[in-house]
């Protein structure tokens, strides 16, 4: 199972023109690679562009967006955390004195309104299918060939063959957008509000601060996906309904139907290809209600909308301050 990587996510710069002047910022790239290509993390601004900077300007709080995109991925939970170094005063890109800093405890993670969502959720399913083959009129001649007694079916002479629980085709379905998040087998988790009480000293700018002795910083959750062991009726019914509108050829292979009919009536195996075609043309398939066994995986795009806030303590030296945001993905 591929793992997210722990990475140093660039530089956060905070510029002060004077004591108490509103903070500014720049250059906070956050990137994460997933070698398997099945679960990818995107850190973006609110327009959907990869985050290239956090520029506070005259603000003290900035919104941004986290997306985790699964593709054909199983119901494996995940957490994406953030830690933060102190912000250190620098001149011309050089930190000369690590004692001149804004502590990480003055930087707080929060969330925007409606902080988490799930989009474009898909499920890979393999249903069980029941079939009914009805032979009437001229096609009822096959009843004699198969040794089946005829009777009246809706006022017409004929016969029927039925099968149960045949294995259908694997399909990918897009779930209804009306589903509540609690109906998803992987329920998105919101950002964790709070400050970074302990600074990050293990990577990035903080690694140069020997007073930290390489210690890891406080973790705050940016987004998570919590596996739910109970598949709700909302999801199951939605997926079953999507399957029910599909034609028989999309639900199950013809060869599977013929094998199932042969198990019910061994003479089916002796029919000609033309007679087999007649059987299939008179066969209707019905999907059984899905269970957890039939739902092979559920995946999609999980979105959270965190905020990053900074408080500049009174008496802080004016100038530019630089730090590192660290993103850690765990699954």
Q: Which two tokens stand for residue 129?
A: 């299918």
Helix residue spans in 1-51 (DSSP H)? none
Instruction: Considering only residues 27 and 216, tell me which one the structure prediction assigns the higher pLDDT.
Output: 216
Range scoring the smallest mean pLDDT among 6-15, 159-168, 248-257: 6-15
Q: Identify whether the C-beta of residue 13 lies closer than 8 Å to the C-beta of residue 5.
A: no
d(CA 132, CA 283): 6
Q: What domain count does the chain have?
A: 2
Listed in sequence order, the residues at least 6 apart from 131 whose beta carbon sits closer than 8 Å to its beta carbon are: 162, 163, 166, 252, 257, 260, 261, 283, 284, 285, 286
Task: Name the more confident of 31 and 177.
Answer: 177
Q: Over the stretch 261-305, which tens digit does the pLDDT of each residue have?
A: 999 999 999 999 999 999 999 999 999 998 878 888 777 788 888
242 lies in some domain? yes
Tell me whether residue 76 is in a domain. yes
Q: Which of 40-44, 58-62, 182-186 bottoms out in mean pLDDT, i.e. has the lowest?
A: 182-186
Q: Does a structural domain hold residue 310?
A: yes
For residues 135 and 36, membership in a common domain is answered with: no
Burial of 18 (0-12, 13-18, 19+ CB in 10 A): exposed
Q: Quick: pLDDT tens for 123-156.
A: 888 999 999 999 999 999 999 999 999 999 989 9
Nearest-angstrom CA–CA distance, 48 and 119: 14
Q: Are residues 223 and 248 in the same domain?
A: no
The reported pLDDT for the residue numbered 11 is 37
Look up the domain containing 208 and give its range.
Answer: 6-121+183-228+298-330
162, 238: one domain: yes
Structure tokens at 227: 């596996």
DSSP helix/strand/coil, 220: strand
Distance CA(80)–CA(68), nearest Å, equals 9
**In a domain? residue 276:** yes
Q: Is residue 203 situated within a structural domain?
A: yes
Residues 204 and 142 in one domain: no
Crossing angle between the packed helical segments 254-264 and 273-281, to the nearest 10 degrees: 100
Q: Mean pLDDT across the stretch 213-239?
A: 84
**Residue 252 in this model has a pLDDT that exceeds 70:** yes
Side-chain-side CA neighbours of residue 140 (13 Å):
12
| Confidence (pLDDT) at 17 | 32
Residues 236, 224 share a domain: no
pLDDT bin (cut points 50, 70, 90) of residue 322 is confident
Looking only at the bridges linking them, the beta strands covering 87-90 and 319-323 are antiparallel
Q: Is the same domain home to 19 and 161?
A: no
Is 174 inside a domain boundary?
A: no
Helical segments of the chain, H only: 141-145, 233-244, 248-251, 254-264, 273-281
Supply the pLDDT for residue 16: 34
Of 69, 54, 63, the closest CA to residue 13 belongs to 54
The three-state secondary structure class of 255 is: helix
Asked if pLDDT for residue 36 goes beyond 90, the answer is: no
**Burial class (CB within 10 angstroms; exposed 0-12, middle 13-18, buried 19+) of 177:** exposed
Q: Are residues 319 and 215 in the same domain?
A: yes
Claim to verify: residue 94 and residue 136 sit in the same structural domain: no
- Measured CA to CA, the distance from residue 23 to residue 26 in angstroms comes to 11
- Please indicate, yes or no, whether residues 262 and 117 belong to a single structural domain of this protein: no
Share of the chain above pLDDT 90, in %: 40
Specify whether 113 is located in the same domain as 218: yes
Indicate the pLDDT class of residue 74, thresholds 50, 70 and 90: low
Asked if 12 contacts 44 with a C-beta cutoff of 8 angstroms, the reply is: no
Q: Are residues 313 and 245 in the same domain?
A: no
**Is there a single domain that holds both residue 312 and residue 261?**
no
| 177: in domain | no
Asked, for residue 239, whether it belongs to a domain, the answer is yes
pLDDT at 20 > cutoff 60: no
- pLDDT higher than threshold 50 for residue 2: no
| 64-68, 230-234, 313-317: the lowest-pLDDT one | 230-234
Q: What is the pLDDT of residue 150?
A: 94
**Dist CA 223 CA 42 (whole Å):** 11
Contact 80, 326 (CB under 8 A): no
């Amino acid at each position: 199972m591929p793992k997210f990587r722990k990475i140093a996510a660039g530089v956060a710069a905070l510029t002060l023109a004077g004591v108490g002047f509103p903070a500014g910022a720049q250059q906070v790239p956050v990137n994460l690679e997933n070698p398997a290509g099945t679960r990818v993390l995107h850190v973006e601004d609110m327009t959907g562009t990869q985050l290239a900077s956090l520029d506070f300007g005259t603000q003290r709080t900035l919104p941004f967006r986290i997306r985790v995109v699964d593709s054909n991925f199983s119901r494996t939970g995940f957490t994406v955390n953030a830690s933060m170094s102190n912000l250190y005063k620098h001149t011309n890109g050089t930190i000369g004195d690590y004692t001149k800093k804004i502590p990480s405890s003055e930087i707080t993670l929060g969330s925007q309104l409606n902080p988490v969502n799930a989009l474009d959720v898909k499920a890979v399913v393999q249903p069980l299918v029941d079939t009914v083959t009805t032979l009437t009129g001229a096609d009822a001649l096959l009843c004699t060939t198969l040794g089946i007694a005829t009777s009246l079916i809706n006022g017409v002479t004929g016969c029927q063959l039925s099968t149960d629980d045949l294995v259908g085709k694997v399909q990918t379905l897009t779930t209804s957008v009306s589903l509540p998040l609690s109906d998803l087998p992987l329920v998105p988790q919101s950002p964790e509000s709070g400050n970074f009480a302990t600074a990050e000293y293990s990577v990035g700018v903080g690694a140069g601060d020997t007073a930290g002795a390489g210690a890891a910083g406080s973790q705050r959750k940016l987004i998570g996906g919590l596996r739910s062991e109970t598949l709700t009726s909302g999801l199951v019914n939605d997926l079953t309904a999507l399957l029910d509108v599909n034609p028989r050829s999309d639900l199950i292979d013809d060869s599977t139907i013929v094998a199932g009919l042969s198990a019910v009536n061994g003479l089916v195996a002796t029919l000609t290809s033309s007679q087999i075609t007649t059987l299939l043309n008179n066969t209707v398939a019905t999907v059984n209600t899905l269970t957890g066994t039939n739902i092979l995986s559920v995946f999609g795009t999980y979105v959270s909308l965190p905020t990053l806030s900074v408080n500049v303590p009174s008496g802080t030296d004016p100038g530019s301050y630089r730090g590192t945001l660290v993103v850690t993905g765990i699954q």
